[in-house]
Structure 1
Amino acid sequence: MSELRVVPTWRHGQERLYVCLTDGRNIAWYDRDTTRVNLLSADRRDDVLEALDPFITVPVTIGPPPVPTPAELARLNLHPDDDLAPNRPGEALLIALDREPAPSRRLRPDPRRRALQAEQTVGEVLDRLDGAGWHALHSLPLPGGDRIHHLLIGPGGLFALHTLYARKQRVQLADPMVTVGRREALPLLRRVRADADRASYALTAEVHPVLVLVAPSHVSGTSMPRDVHVLRETEVAGLARLGGTLKPADVEGLHAMARDRGTWEAA
């Protein structure tokens, strides 16, 4: 059995153990979450189970991999450059900061770093929802250089999230204007709605606009928007409690469509 080795991999906190030959080819894998051993070669069943024996502590199901759904097939056919699922929260800002770092003697903090911190904070929350019937995508490029900070897809529907750094500052809402601290008011809610509208057009499905305020000291408003969810970053996980809108097959199909860069070229 020395010819087989077990290689663990992780994604969003979920572990999968691959059983590989000495040349690196996979012949099976074990999903801890589903307690299933997927065999690519039935004649190596006993060898695979022997290799996995130290890692299996509960009864497992054993058999060939399940037949991929149309959504999974579409994902597998994507060129790596066109697959947006690997994007990290704040991917576009990370690339921009790498290409053009802020001057070392800058008097004020680079606003891109604060924006990046906000996107990473919200992105981490969204990524933890993966595996519970929800999928999160980050930094989706739109024509004209715009982008959607985050897209959340799950049983409760689709949500386009725009993050705003507001640490220890008061936020005032007067639709469509948003004021953070003493800064100039900006028509940010108009941008949030536009992002959701463009996503709806690209995916041919209703997408709900969400503005996420990261660490504000206080939020008030003279004109609170009815059609935009305004949340603090601590409230974002609550979106996962929404349900009854999309079936699992619809969620997977929309996720497969949304992760394809080509979907957004005409948004």
Structure 2
Amino acid sequence: MSRLRVTPAHGQGRDRLYVSLRDGTTVAWYDKDSGRVSVLSGAGREEVLSALAPYLTGEVTVGPPRVPTPADLDRLSLHPDDDLAPNRPGEALHAELDAVRAAGSDWSSGSSGSSGSSSSHGSLLWRRWRRWRQDPRQDPRQAELLAQETIGDRLDRLEDAGWRVLHSIPLPGAARIDHLAIGPAGVLAVRTLPARKRRVGVADPLVRVGRAAPVPHLRWARRAAERASRALAADVRPVLAVAEPARLDALPMPPDVRILRDTEIPALASLGGVLKPADIESLYATARDRHSWLRV
């Protein structure tokens, strides 16, 4: 029986297999995306490859771990509370909806919402929670969250093409950038628009979804890109990503805002010519630091 064991790990846009001794000491890892097996000093190369053999696909390179770049070192020095990379798409909405569920749980157990003792605000929250409990889809935040998850998933898949993606970046004043994508085609500040099975009409700067009143989404998208440009000291292009529209009418197309259906996001992988890999990593290291966004 081999003295090595193989354990999968997922996170930070990476898919890896770690090889460790029985006592848990890591001796090597296989990065599936790059096709590289990194073997630590003192580990047996052939034994590591033998343990990984059932999992290796295609050609792989084998060698010591690469020397970290300055961007790698910057990321390693970040305090977990200041690192935005772990944020999920719609992170803020997750927190809001979790709070609604928690408050509703308290009310349903009898700790709040009883006759006469609730404030008018508490009564309003109680009614909203009751409606949400009967049909969670009635809460517009649920549709917004689903849209952000749809767009976020599409953007995350660009990482194989050399992109770096962050989600739900907090800005001063309670504003947020839904997604920030940094890749060979440049830096994109992406605003999500939920439009499941509804018609979307664009008349710059207004956007109408279905029969709802027009909303200045393009103005907000431009504003988010401007703030991101100041934070990163780089050119940032605004993008409006429309999730699952039945129809999208945007003629004439705004010259400065890219409007994409969710199904068109994968096409970004074929674009390039703006940023080199080192530039992408440097901008990503800056963008994932919460402090970079405090004064924009």
TM over 0.5: yes
In structure 2, C-alpha distance between the alignment counterparts of 1:177 and 1:256, rounded to whole Å:
34
The range that moved more, 211-220 or 137-146, is 211-220
Q: Match for residue 77 of structure 1?
A: 77
Q: Deviations over 1:19-64 (max 9, x none)?
A: 1123322121122343332122235434433433443465643321
- Return the letter of the residue paired with 1:91: E
Q: Structure 2: which 5+ residue stretches go unaligned?
A: 102-127
Gaps of 5+ in 1: none
Which of 278, 284, 287 matches 1:249? 278
Aligned AA for 1:87? N
Residue 122 of structure 1 corresponds to: 151
Map residues 1-267 of structure 1 onto 2, 5 A cutoff. 2-11=2-11, 15-56=15-56, 60-101=60-101, 103-106=129-132, 109-221=138-250, 224-267=253-296
User: Residues 28 and 41 of structure 1 are in contact (CA less than 8 Å); yes or no, is this contact kept in structure 2?
Assistant: no
| Worse-superposed segment, 170-179 or 225-234 | 170-179
Equivalent residue letter for 2:249: S
Distance 1:139 1:58 in 2: 36
- CA distance in structure 2 between the aligned counterparts of 1:13 and 1:194, rounded to whole angstroms: 28
Contact 2:7 2:18 (8 Å CA) reproduced: yes
Which stretch of structure 1 is more off in the superposition, 222-231 or 91-100?
Answer: 222-231
Q: CA deviation at 1:128?
A: 0.9
- Following superposition, the deviation at residue 170 of structure 1 comes to 2.1
Structure 1 residue 223: deviation in Å? 5.7
Cα separation, 2, equivalents of 1:59 and 1:204: 39
Distance, in Å, in 2 between the alignment partners of 1:57 and 1:130 is 19
Deviation by residue 1:221-256 (Cα, 9 ceiling, x = unmatched): 566421101111111222222210011110111111
Paired residues of 1:12 and 1:128 also in contact (CA < 8 A):
no
Q: Secondary structure at the match of 1:167?
A: coil
- Root-mean-square deviation (CA, aligned residues, Å) is 2.2
What is the percent sequence identity of the aligned residues? 56
Report SS of the residue matched to 1:159: strand
CA separation of 1:117 and 1:56: change in aligned 2, threshold 3 A: closer
Distance 1:55 1:181 in 2: 48
Q: Which has the higher helix share?
A: 2
CA distance in 2, matches of 1:150, 1:196: 11
1:64 & 1:56 partners in 2: Cα distance? 17
Change (3 A) 1:231 1:53: closer
Structure 1 window deviating more from structure 2 (35-44 vs 240-249): it is 35-44
Q: Is the 8 A contact 2:30 2:38 kept in 1?
A: yes
- TM-score computed with the length of structure 2 as normaliser: 0.83
Amino acid at match of 1:40: L
Alignment coverage as a number of residue pairs: 267
